Amino acid sequence: MPELPEVETIRRTLLTGPSAPLRAGASAGLRAGNRTAPGLVGQRIVGVSLRWPRHIVAPSPSSFRRRIRGQTIQDVSRRGKFIHIPLDRDSLLVHLMMSGDLFISPAGIARGRHDHTIFQLESGWQLRFSDSRKFGRVFLVPDPEEVLGSLGPEPLSDEFNTPDLLRILHYRRRSLKPLLIDQAAIAGLGNIYADESLHRARLHPRRGSHTLEKAEVKALWNGIRAALRDGLRHNGASIDWVYRGGDFQNHFRVYGRAGQPCPRCGTAIERTIVGQRSTYTCPLCQPWKAS
Enclosing H/E stretch for 192: helix 191-201
Out of 2, 5, 18, 86, the active site residue is 2
Tell me if residue 6 is catalytic.
Answer: no
Question: Distance (Å, rounded) from C-alpha 226 to C-alpha 224?
Answer: 6
Could you tell me if 267 and 280 are in contact, meaning their C-beta atoms sit under 8 angstroms apart? no
Out of 31, 81, 174, 253, the active site residue is 81
Could you tell me if 97 and 135 are in contact, meaning their C-beta atoms sit under 8 angstroms apart? yes
CA dihedral 50, 53, 55, 58 (to 10 degrees): 110
Tell me if residue 3 is catalytic.
Answer: yes
What is the pairing mode between strands 100-106 and 45-50?
Answer: unpaired
Q: DSSP string covering 12-79, please?
A: HHHHH--SS---TT-STT--STT--PPPSTTPBEEEEEESSGGGEEES-HHHHHHHHTT-B----EEE
Q: DSSP string covering 249-284, please?
A: GGG-SSTT-TTSBPTTT-PBPEEEEETTEEEEE-TT
Out of 44, 65, 172, 277, the active site residue is 277
Tell me if residue 277 is catalytic.
Answer: yes
| Catalytic center residues | 2-3, 81, 277
